[in-house]
Chains A and B, each alone.
Chain A
């Protein structure tokens, strides 16, 4: 957990300080313990933002291994704005 927490914390400077941030659930096995742990760890690391398990927000966290290979339709309209050495990334879409 400490490792995951440190990895996600590195994304904080590129996110807004408050509010909802999307989180891309794993394209398969999203309910596994590891997947849930990663999502919860992101929330723990990035509080007081609220990390919701869906896309649609201006900012979306794409944790390492969650994106469907070959292009994930859930990220249509988003572009990558930041990433970490651990493979976690932030995607953003232009505010409406």
Chain B
């Protein structure tokens, strides 16, 4: 277990130090956010290296662990040497004195956080292998990688294991098992918890923990039982949601008062990296990458800064290259949930089938109204309504941007629901909670996003 923790911490620490050496951390404008982004890129990069090792015929044995650890230690030492003498401070003032309302909000957050942490602990004690998709898809692929080395691609022959989904989660679990020396069930659970904490950190760090809105948004993010339930599921939806929110908070959509010391190029570099990590995590991430790239291109030309696209691309290229290697070199066929949707007539017939549409909307309405769990039913509609109200304000540019991306993603999910050869109601029933969780941090952030007239602490 300790070795697995070291395996998790090494790339995060090395990437954090590299950010500091390259002054990328200043783009995040928050120590918490910088650490969360280092977690995203560190876990993503280590999974890509693990994948490359397997594709080049290597095995996840002791030699791999030594090489992997030395790589990250070397990066850490070089980064620390390059950043020597440099203050780790990021722009911004110290915490202002807390008011009674601040303490009330922080206490409420702490209470909800403790309760949310109890759920994964209880669920792990009952289902140490995670929920159905964890052992049928993600941890199973990790077992192939850990046990069979380069022959892990045999797992592509298992139709229910969703072969077309990229391997970030599976490769990360297999890598940490290699560090641990055995298949500890606690490893994927720990990784899942790391993703959940990183997501919380991104939301609160980006909203600035010196502000009350960050504590309210953090509480609302983790309050639904669905969040903590899926945090213990050990599936790929939580990391995908993490990369979505990490990308959007790094796009240069923040109030002018918060832009002191803001580096657009570094910010776009990081956003490009996390957007491509979304695509490296799950197929839905490809839709997000396309949508966020379109947003960046539109913004770059609108503001006469075409060079922004270059920085975005620089960040995205390494993980897109890994994705291309996976898709072109490993994946045998298109996702089964789109099977048969290859001709225009089939696509049109499925998309505009009134019966399928009726089933889709009826099922979504039923599930959406209950999303969040028994004590949080209706929370999705309430938070969405607040986010839309924020977006409709003249100064709600950030909320509009977040909701636009969430709407594109939701439209993509609905398109797949309509195109699938499977029973529409069954597919919605078995995926809606997870897919909504991917968008949940975007909606929460949009509801509490700073407006253009906000006075920044630093500004």
On A, residues with C-beta under 8 Å from B are 1-2, 5, 18-20, 40-41, 43-44, 47-48, 50
Query: Which 7 A/B pairs are nearest by Cβ-Cβ distance?
Result: A48-B148, A47-B143, A48-B144, A44-B135, A40-B136, A48-B147, A44-B140
CB distance from B143 to the nearest CB of A (A): 4
CB <8 Å contact, A50 and B143: no
CB <8 Å contact, B148 and A2: no
Give the complex CA separation of A46 and B148 in angstroms: 11
Known: A1-B127, A2-B129. A40 touches B135 (CB 8 A): yes
Known: A1-B127, A2-B127, A18-B148. A47 touches B155 (CB 8 A): yes
Interface centre among A1, A18, A48 (most CB of B within 10 A): A48
| B7 on the A face (CB < 8 A) | no
CB <8 Å contact, B143 and A44: yes
Closest to A39 in B: B160
CB distance from A4 to the nearest CB of B (A): 10
Contacts A2-B129, A48-B143, A50-B157 known; 8 new A-B pairs at CB < 8 A: A1-B135, A19-B154, A43-B136, A43-B140, A44-B143, A47-B144, A47-B147, A48-B147
Give the complex CA separation of A43 and B132 in angstroms: 13
29 contacts between A and B (CB under 8 A): A2-B127, A2-B129, A5-B129, A18-B148, A18-B154, A19-B154, A40-B132, A40-B135, A40-B160, A43-B136, A43-B140, A43-B158, A44-B135, A44-B136, A44-B140, A44-B143, A47-B140, A47-B143, A47-B148, A47-B155, A48-B143, A48-B147, A48-B148, A48-B154, A48-B155, A50-B154, A50-B155, A50-B157, A50-B158
CB distance from B159 to the nearest CB of A (A): 10
CB distance from A22 to the nearest CB of B (A): 14
- CB-CB < 8 A to B327: which residues of A? none
For chain B, the bracket of interface size reads 10 to 19
- CB-CB < 8 A to A40: which residues of B? 132, 135-136, 160
- CB-CB < 8 A to A2: which residues of B? 127-129
B residues 118-154 touching A (CB-CB < 8 Å) = 127-129, 132, 135-136, 139-140, 143-144, 147-148, 151-152, 154
- CB-CB < 8 A to B139: which residues of A? 44
- CB-CB < 8 A to B140: which residues of A? 43-44, 47
Give the complex CA separation of A40 and B136 in angstroms: 6
A18 contacts which of B129, B143, B151 (Cβ < 8 Å)? B151
CB <8 Å contact, B152 and A48: yes
- CB-CB < 8 A to B132: which residues of A? 40
CB distance from B161 to the nearest CB of A (A): 8
Give the complex CA separation of A1 and B127 in angstroms: 7
Give the complex CA separation of A47 and B128 in angstroms: 18
- CB-CB < 8 A to B144: which residues of A? 47-48
Closest to B140 in A: A44
Give the complex CA separation of A47 and B132 in angstroms: 16
Give the complex CA separation of A19 and B135 in angstroms: 20
Give the complex CA separation of A48 and B155 in angstroms: 7
Give the complex CA separation of A2 and B144 in angstroms: 18
B residues 165-180 touching A (CB-CB < 8 Å) = none
Interface centre among B129, B135, B155 (most CB of A within 10 A): B135
Give the complex CA separation of A18 and B150 in angstroms: 12
- CB-CB < 8 A to B143: which residues of A? 44, 47-48
Give the complex CA separation of A50 and B161 in angstroms: 11
Give the complex CA separation of A41 and B152 in angstroms: 18
- CB-CB < 8 A to A20: which residues of B? 157
CB distance from A25 to the nearest CB of B (A): 14
- CB-CB < 8 A to A44: which residues of B? 129, 135-136, 139-140, 143
CB distance from B259 to the nearest CB of A (A): 50
Give the complex CA separation of A78 and B140 in angstroms: 29
CB <8 Å contact, B129 and A1: yes
- CB-CB < 8 A to B129: which residues of A? 1-2, 5, 44
CB distance from A93 to the nearest CB of B (A): 21
Closest to B126 in A: A2
CB distance from A34 to the nearest CB of B (A): 13
Closest to A20 in B: B157
CB distance from B213 to the nearest CB of A (A): 41
- CB-CB < 8 A to A19: which residues of B? 154
Give the complex CA separation of A1 and B124 in angstroms: 12
- CB-CB < 8 A to B151: which residues of A? 18, 48
CB <8 Å contact, A5 and B135: yes
Give the complex CA separation of A41 and B143 in angstroms: 13
Give the complex CA separation of A33 and B128 in angstroms: 20
Give the complex CA separation of A81 and B286 in angstroms: 47
Give the complex CA separation of A71 and B158 in angstroms: 29
Give the complex CA separation of A48 and B183 in angstroms: 14
